[in-house]
Amino acid sequence: MERWLIAYDIADPDRLRAVHGYLKRRAVHLQYSVFVAKLGPAGMGDLLDDLRALIAEDADDIRIYRIPATPWWQAIGRRPLPESLELLGGPLPSET
């Protein structure tokens, strides 16, 4: 199982709702068009097939990035997730 960052830009409102709803069922919602999922090879294959069926490849854009085992990240601005929620295998960084 690996962690994946999924971001999208969908041109059509109906396809946008379909992709957003699908990912809300399969992944953790980080920002409006950004999700993180923990998937094995079969799960990733299913995810890719399902997303391809929901979009128009000539108009829409979905990017999927593997998250390294020890990622570095920083949030700036309002806290998007509850204080108690752990993400990517560790607690959210403290605000400074």
Tens of pLDDT along 6-40?
999 999 999 999 999 999 999 999 888 999 999 99
Cα separations in angstroms, 82 against 30, 72, 96: 11, 19, 17
Tell me the mean pLDDT in the region 44-67: 97
Dist. CA 89–CA 70, nearest whole Å: 9
Cα separations in angstroms, 83 against 11, 47, 91: 33, 29, 9
- Looking at the predicted structure, is the pLDDT value of residue 5 above 70? yes
Domains and CATH numbers, the chain: 2-69 (3.30.70.240)
| pTM, 2 dp | 0.78
Residue whose token pair is 């919602």: 29
Tell me the mean pLDDT in the region 35-54: 96
Tokens of 46: 């299913």
Please name which of 17, 21, 8, 96 lies closest in space to residue 57, comparing C-alpha atoms: 8
Contact indicator for 33, 63 with CB cutoff of 8 Å: no
The alpha carbon dihedral of 65, 89, 27, 76 has a sign of negative
